[in-house]
Amino acid sequence: MGYCVSIKRMNEILKELQKEYKIYAPVRFEKRGRYSDTDLIRYAEINSIEDVVYDEKSDFSPKEVIYPITQALFYFTEYEYMESKIDDKKILIFARPCDINGFRRLDTIFLKNGGTEDIYYKRLREKVKFILMECKEGGWDSCFCVSMGSNKTDDYSLAVRFEDDNILVEIKDDEFTNLFGDEREVEFTPEFVTSNPTKVNIPEIDSYELLKKIYDLDMWKSYNSRCISCGACTAVCITCSCFTTLDVTYTENGKVGERRRVHASCMHEDFTIMAGGLSFRKTAGERMRFRTLHKIYDYKLRFKDEHMCVGCGRCDERCPELISFAATINRLYDEVKKLKKAETTKDIK
Amino acid sequence: MSYDIDIKKVRRNCYRQSKVRGEFMLQIRVPGGVIDAKYLSFFQHIAETWGNGEFHLGVRQTISIPGIKYEYIDEVNKYIRPYIEEIEVNLCGVDMVVDDNGYPTIGARNIMACIGNRHCIKANIDTTDLARKIEKVIFPSDYHIKLNISGCPNDCAKAHVSDIGIIGITKTEYDYDRCIGCKKCVEACAHHATRVLSVEKGKIVKDSCCCVGCGECVLVCPTGAWTRNPKKFYRILIGGRTGKQTPRMGKIFLNWVTEDVVLGVLKNWEIFSAYVMNNKPEYIHGGHLIDRVGYNKFKEMILKDVKLNPEAMVAERVLWAETEYRSNFNVKPVTQR
Amino acid sequence: MSVNIMLPTPHKIIDIIRETGNEYTFRIETNAKVKHGQFFQVSLPKVGEAPISVSAMGDGWVELTIRKVGKVTNEIFNLKPGDKIFMRGPYGNSFPVDDFKGKDLVVIAGGTGVSPVRSLLKYFYEHPAEIHSLHLIAGFKDEKSILFKEDLSNFRKRFNTIYTLDKDKIEGFEVGFVTEHIKKIPFDSFENYNVVIVGPPVMMHFAALECLKNGVPEGKIWLSFERKMSCGVGKCGHCKINETYVCLEGPVFNYTKAKNLLD
Ligand SMILES: Cc1cc2nc3c(=O)[nH]c(=O)nc-3n(C[C@H](O)[C@H](O)[C@H](O)COP(=O)(O)OP(=O)(O)OC[C@H]3O[C@@H](n4cnc5c(N)ncnc54)[C@H](O)[C@@H]3O)c2cc1C
Ligand code: SF4
Ligand code: SF4
Ligand code: SF4
Ligand code: SF4
Ligand code: SF4
Ligand code: FES
């Protein structure tokens, strides 16, 4: 069922929803961008529908809402420790199809991998309902959701299209029907992007022999001088889930403190460093290879259904060194094609 | 041809004497170094019609057209009238009457600026915009001032060797929860700037005293934990100069001041100069004026009616470090004081 | 609410045995069911967590042999018997002990690498009937670094042992790296056997190559990996190599798998 809702009414409805929900959406932080006089768009709680930045791609993904960058796990006092607590409000997130599909990847890591559930993720994830935000036609320049098959979803409670004075709303979740009961009914279901300007070809890696050759490709070395290992690409990624735990004390005497986790990046030099200084993947190129293969090869090998990358393109947009992940995938595809061709000609000989 | 020319008068109109008798080079003002590309054909026309067909990118970012014969100066002045009108009056809002006599004065020199945040990834301010606002304040004035604006403490526009140097700085703000303790900002600050950041308990600690406000930490931070305060801040350097006798680096006068303070200070420059030179403008570097009356007098006059913003910091004193090409250059006979 | 996999529980330290100057064995009270080769996430509140292998186990206790190298391990070394230490686990897979039973077993261990196989060795020491033969090559850097001296001398009685120090010459020890002694193992005389290799990555790499050179089939070689770990339960991503999580599918890997773990 669809409704046409005025902005004023939408704000009243949001107010009503706020009694039970924290509502998150991409929000503009003016002049907080990386460069002077540029804005930063990231997820934050909204107070009115006008806060929602619907016509641009957000710099950061909505993962931070339920997988905070810094998250306390336990609090310690001198003799006791206790699990960190959360608010009991439910959560509504304005999200694009790629991001909703991205959350499924996070679910896989946090709720399925190793056959265990991470309660810190779960307790927030359980509270989430999605409001699907329609994308503009074709998406944005760096989007390649269609190539990754993540351009569509039906995992949402509400779907919205922003028009000049009105918002079209589709309601899939009965919980919300009453709120919209008095609005003008219209035919509306969201449209999904069916083609992006950016396209990627995912290489088919079907043997360890091929994988070994991929590891040795020269293309990775080109990133040694290009990539500054800043980790911006993983920080913005909807599907990057890595973290490091650490303990801290609050006071000089060290009696109270917490165990927390913070996001980590496999692009950082110290991601694999062990006590004693031994580390793996010492060069930026090796780390780029690791990230690339995680996103478009080994995650799927492990979990079968889908690749980790959903093609949101944020890593492309955010890389300060103008390294395009889409271009990296396509470069790999070409290299793999060459490797396969060399293999078949060898067979014929 | 034999010439009888008042070269002082011609210079006032921004024509510089050439080694070729009777030839001059016109220095066209481009405040902040940025103007519409359409003026290229205008400059071309002057160079090809009255000059020797060449032009020089003036070191102070003027468009300089050499080889103009004295007898063409009147014609050229007529031709540049609309340019002066468009740039000085319309673009910069300078309060002046434009006539057929060319530039009214060369006193306040062309304002130099780096490209700033219209293009540069390191810049903290829109230097072009600031240059145009300042042009309105300092031009036309017979009192000499060389003013350079840099978008960040890299100081590509050499604010450190100008009478008044302005550097765009940023007050960075730290979001504790967004920080992942990756130390990228710590490394960047140590590499590019003043090593004021360190990690303690997985988060950043900053020794704010010595932050130069460059924003390198913002540029490198992967999570957006460091951002710029949207308010723009400036550092003002004074007394820098080049020259044959005692070149020296400018020293910090004000730090963390707002645009209003910058403009307020510059409004007082003419008054200060006039005071030191008894209302007789001559070509003399600003640093010498400050030296003549002392820093404290300068400070008092230049900050008159300027309302400092709460973040502002003012130098208590200035310790100059000159390059003395003659030792004891500053030690002079009593008669020459 | 489901169980919190990050939640550690306090355990009493029963005894502390000084193995070397910077390696102590902590005997800790626990009823956890542990398999040979598994590890615990050991922690001290306000200091941090560290993955530590079980080096021995018994009724109501496990032993952890810890090398003092940094923040957490330094602090653990200040603990006294009776103090509490926090643990969660055990995690990871284990050596396929049932597969080893009744066959010949070769164990090649270097330095602290002895610790994750110690419980396995102790098991076969205590149940000699369950193994056809056991050849142990254990190597240490120097005399100061020798771990588990008492166990090593016991093992001499029931196993075929080669103990070696990198350079020093002392009574009962050969000289040279463990890899140099692998050729002494009578692989040809075994009917059915397995080889376990544990130690620093470089040592494991060369020991495995040496075994292959001596005709050991890949499928008979088992290695125990060490990687940076933050969670131990397949969430943090630090230990991942290809599609494999060392904390979940490891730390013990058969060579056929291990050789494809490309870092
Ligand atoms: C499966 C497994 C089993 C293990 N079994 C044992 C065992 O039985 N006995 C034993 O003694 N050890 C064992 N270890 C190693 C042990 O976990 C580490 O020595 C321990 O984590 C060190 O912790 P720490 O806080 O004392 O050291 P720290 O050096 O303070 O290390 C703290 C953290 O920082 C990282 N780090 C270290 N150096 C650097 C650096 N230069 N830059 C950035 N980060 C750094 C480390 O990786 C560590 O996660 C095992 C490891 C694994 C993975
Ligand atoms: S790898 Fe890049 S394109 Fe793919 S999901 Fe992550 S941020 Fe988006
Ligand atoms: S790409 Fe790197 S940071 Fe992202 S999930 Fe994979 S291992 Fe973690
Ligand atoms: S954002 Fe770019 S430079 Fe930074 S780590 Fe990623 S690929 Fe490298
Ligand atoms: S702005 Fe300050 S803290 Fe940041 S890099 Fe520059 S000097 Fe360092
Ligand atoms: S670069 Fe950003 S995330 Fe990294 S330590 Fe500095 S503030 Fe924290
Ligand atoms: S240690 Fe965290 S995923 Fe393996």
What is the average pLDDT across B283-289?
93
Q: What is the band of A347 on the pLDDT scale with cuts at 50, 70, 90? A: low
Q: Look at A97-101, B111-115, B328-332, C64-68 and tell me which has the smallest mean pLDDT.
A: B328-332
Are C86 and C101 in the same domain? no
Q: What percent of chain B has pLDDT over 70?
A: 99
Name the minimum distance, in Å, from the CA of A87 to any CA of chain C.
Answer: 15
Ligand number with the minimum distance to the CA of A231: 4
Q: Is the pLDDT of residue C1 over 60?
A: no
Tens-place pLDDT, residues A150-198: 999 999 999 999 999 999 999 999 999 999 988 899 999 999 999 999 9
Closest by Cβ to C230, choosing from A243, A254, A294? A243
Q: Pick the residue whose CA is nearest to atom 6 on ligand 4.
A: A233
Q: Pick the residue whose CA is nearest to atom 8 on ligand 5.
A: B189
Angle between helices A284-293 and A325-348 (to 10 degrees): 80
Q: What percent of chain C has pLDDT over 70?
A: 100
Are C204 and C112 in the same domain? yes
Cα B188 to ligand 3 centre (Å): 23
Any domain includes C3: no
Q: How far apart are CA B121 and CA B123, in angstroms?
A: 6
Looking at residue B138, its pLDDT comes to 96
Any domain includes C189: yes
Instruction: Return the bridge partners of B251, or none.
Output: B238
Q: Is the pLDDT of residue A341 over 60?
A: yes
List chain B domain ranges.
Answer: 7-91, 112-169+232-314, 173-227
Q: Which CATH architecture fits B7-91?
A: Alpha-Beta Complex (3.90)
Among residues C91, C124, C146, the one where a domain terminates is C91
Looking at residue A77, its pLDDT comes to 87
Cα C227 to ligand 1 centre (Å): 9
Q: What is the CATH number of the domain that holds C32?
A: 2.40.30.10
Ligand number with the minimum distance to the CA of A63: 2
Closest by Cβ to A235, choosing from B124, B168, B223? B223
A40 contacts on B by Cβ (under 8 Å): 224, 227
Are C254 and C126 in the same domain? yes
Q: Pick the residue whose CA is nearest to atom 1 on ligand 4.
A: A319
Tens-place pLDDT, residues A5-29: 999 999 999 999 999 999 999 999 9
Closest by Cβ to B218, choosing from A34, A59, A60? A34
Are C67 and C103 in the same domain? no
Residues with Cβ within 8 Å of residue C157, at least 6 apart in sequence = none
Cβ contact A131:A65 at 8 Å: no
Domains B7-91 and B173-227 share a fold: no
| Domain count of the fold of chain C | 2
Q: Is the pLDDT of residue A349 over 70?
A: no
Q: Is the pLDDT of residue B330 over 80?
A: no
Any domain includes C39: yes
Name the minimum distance, in Å, from the CA of C210 to any CA of chain A.
Answer: 22
Are C146 and C252 in the same domain? yes
Neighbours, chain C (3 or more CB pairs < 8 A): A
Best CA proximity match to B29, nearest among B1, B65, B2, B70: B65
Q: How far apart are CA A2 and CA A183, in angstroms?
A: 9
Q: What is the band of A239 on the pLDDT scale with cuts at 50, 70, 90? A: very high
Q: Is the pLDDT of residue B134 over 60?
A: yes
Neighbours, chain A (3 or more CB pairs < 8 A): B, C
Q: How far apart are CA B28 and CA B40, in angstroms?
A: 12
Using beta carbons and an 8 Å cutoff, which residues of C are at the interface with A? Answer: 1-7, 43-50, 69-70, 73, 200-201, 226-228, 230-231, 233-238, 240-245, 247-248, 260, 262-263
Q: pTM for this one?
A: 0.93
Closest by Cβ to A212, choosing from C50, C245, C262? C262
Among residues C58, C91, C124, the one where a domain terminates is C91
CATH code given to domain B173-227: 3.30.70.20
**Subunit contact A69:B180, Cβ cutoff 8 A:** yes
**B35-45 burial code (b ≥16 CB/10 A, e <16):** beeeeeebbee
List chain A domain ranges.
Answer: 2-62+85-186, 208-239+267-348
- Is the CB of residue A264 less than 8 Å away from at least one CB of chain B? yes
Among residues C69, C91, C113, the one where a domain terminates is C91
Interface test with A, best of C235, C257, C259 (most A CBs within 10 A): C235
Q: How far is CA A64 from the centre of its chain?
A: 9
Interface test with B, best of A27, A29, A34, A36 (most B CBs within 10 A): A36
Tens-place pLDDT, residues B50-87: 999 999 999 999 999 999 999 999 999 999 999 999 99
Cis peptide before B82 (omega within 30 of 0): no
Q: Pick the residue whose CA is nearest to atom 4 on ligand 3.
A: A240
Considering only residues C111 and B88, tell me which one the structure prediction assigns the higher pLDDT.
B88
Q: What is the band of B337 on the pLDDT scale with cuts at 50, 70, 90? A: low
Tens-place pLDDT, residues C112-152: 889 999 999 999 999 999 999 999 999 999 999 999 999 99
Name the minimum distance, in Å, from the CA of A271 to any CA of chain C.
Answer: 6
DSSP of B106-146: -SBPPPEE--GGGT-SS--S-HHHHHHHHHHHH-S-SS-B-
Looking at residue A345, its pLDDT comes to 79
Task: Write out the two tokens for B27.
Answer: 């220095």
Instruction: Return the bridge partners of C66, or none.
Output: C24
Are C153 and C223 in the same domain? yes
Q: Is the pLDDT of residue C164 over 80?
A: yes
Looking at residue A1, its pLDDT comes to 75
Instruction: Return the bridge partners of A94, or none.
Output: A131
DSSP H or E run through B56:
strand B56-57
Q: Which amino acid is at A88?
A: D
Which letter does DSSP use for residue A109 in this model? I
Task: Write out the two tokens for A97.
Answer: 């199809």
Q: Look at A84-88, B330-334, C18-22 and tell me which has the smallest mean pLDDT.
A: B330-334
Are C113 and C234 in the same domain? yes
Q: Is the pLDDT of residue A81 over 90?
A: no
Tens-place pLDDT, residues B157-197: 999 999 999 999 999 999 999 999 999 999 999 999 999 99
Are C153 and C63 in the same domain? no
Q: Pick the residue whose CA is nearest to atom 7 on ligand 3.
A: A266
Name the minimum distance, in Å, from the CA of C233 to any CA of chain A.
Answer: 6
Contacts of B9-17 with C-beta under 8 Å, sequence gap 24+, read B10/B70, B10/B73, B11/B106, B12/B104, B12/B105, B12/B106, B13/B73, B13/B77, B13/B101, B13/B102, B13/B103, B13/B104, B13/B106, B14/B62, B14/B102, B14/B103, B14/B106, B15/B68, B15/B73, B15/B102, B16/B64
Handedness of CA C231, C237, C241, C242 (dihedral sign): positive
Looking at residue B327, its pLDDT comes to 74
Ligand number with the minimum distance to the CA of A299: 3
Are C74 and C203 in the same domain? no
- Is the CB of residue A273 less than 8 Å away from at least one CB of chain C? yes
A272 contacts on C by Cβ (under 8 Å): 227-228, 238, 263
Tens-place pLDDT, residues A280-332: 999 999 999 999 999 999 999 999 999 999 999 999 999 999 999 999 999 99
Are C127 and C172 in the same domain? yes
What is the average pLDDT across A211-218?
95
Tens-place pLDDT, residues C201-252: 889 999 999 999 988 999 999 999 999 999 999 999 999 999 999 999 989 9
**Subunit contact A70:B179, Cβ cutoff 8 A:** yes
Name the minimum distance, in Å, from the CA of C228 to any CA of chain A.
Answer: 5
Q: Is the pLDDT of residue C25 over 80?
A: yes
Q: Which atom of ligand 3 is nearest to the CA of A264?
A: 3
Give the domain range for residue C160.
97-258
Q: Looking at the domain B112-169+232-314, which fold is it?
A: Sulfite Reductase Hemoprotein; domain 1 (3.30.413)
Q: How far apart are CA C197 and CA B156, in angstroms?
A: 60
Instruction: Return the bridge partners of C165, or none.
Output: C140, C175
Q: Which amino acid is at A92?
A: L
